[in-house]
Structure 1
């Protein structure tokens, strides 16, 4: 079962969080690059958390771009979910999670910055020093 199927199962109440997280970590995700000069990854803020936007395929990315009124194609990075949370999240200031397929109301999933998803020292529920610094 792929990531989109695991997300659907979780949303339907029949999924398993361990299988969902495992599939997320194994899946190559498409992360649009920000349109600014920094060349970083496109993200947004919600509830005090930076959410990196990631997509399961080009169609899901295109729906997001269209919803944002994009007039040109977006460049993106193809990256494993594991690398995104293990290597990229630690380079970002403040609590950071991953929002998958956010343009698809019934197929989106958030992977928040908590222990078990991001490295413990970057999780909001991890080491007390890190949580207080944020």
Structure 2
């Protein structure tokens, strides 16, 4: 488990430096076990830019940085350990609104956003699915 988390963190660092393969990053995210805070009986998320972002963390240190910002130092935060693929393939589509995955949002220069687009989330949950299919809603 630890190896996949550090591999994702390394891929994120590479992409933020402008190197690395974006498809490899998505693949690593799908294989990684992410720690997702639980609040009010559900997974913690935030809305920004018209998108609901499920927040996941690559390791306990990244989660602890987030918890400290949200609840203060030394306050425990419940979390679920979920495979990245499960988050984007099952959780995101179940939300019924444009949603994506935000990883390590409390890590300075270490966060990465996986938006609700084709190739990251299922086509049924992707905001650009109609554009990718060449359809614009115009009939003849």
TM-score, normalized by the shorter chain, greater than 0.5: yes
Distance 1:126 1:120 in 2: 6
Kindly name which structure, 1 or 2, has the bigger radius of gyration based on alpha carbons.
2
User: Is the CA contact (8 Å cut-off) linking 2:11 and 2:28 kept in structure 1?
Assistant: yes
User: Is the CA contact (8 Å cut-off) linking 1:111 and 1:117 kept in structure 2?
Assistant: yes
Which of the residues 48, 51, 59 maps onto 1:49?
51
1:48-77, CA deviations, whole angstroms, 9 ceiling, x for partnerless residues?
000001000011000001012346211111
Gaps of 5+ in 2: 1-5, 132-136
Distance 1:69 1:15 in 2: 35
1:95-127, CA deviations, whole angstroms, 9 ceiling, x for partnerless residues?
000000000121100000000000001001013
Superposition misfits of 4+ residues, deviation over 2 angstroms: 69-72
Distance 1:44 1:15 in 2: 28
Distance 2:123 2:15 in 1: 24
The residue number in structure 2 matching 1:16 is 21
The residue number in structure 1 matching 2:108 is 105
CA-CA distance at 1:93 after TM superposition: 2.0
Aligned CA RMSD, in angstroms, stands at: 1.6
The residue number in structure 2 matching 1:62 is 64
The residue number in structure 2 matching 1:91 is 94
Distance 1:72 1:106 in 2: 24
1:10-34, CA deviations, whole angstroms, 9 ceiling, x for partnerless residues?
0111111011001000000000001
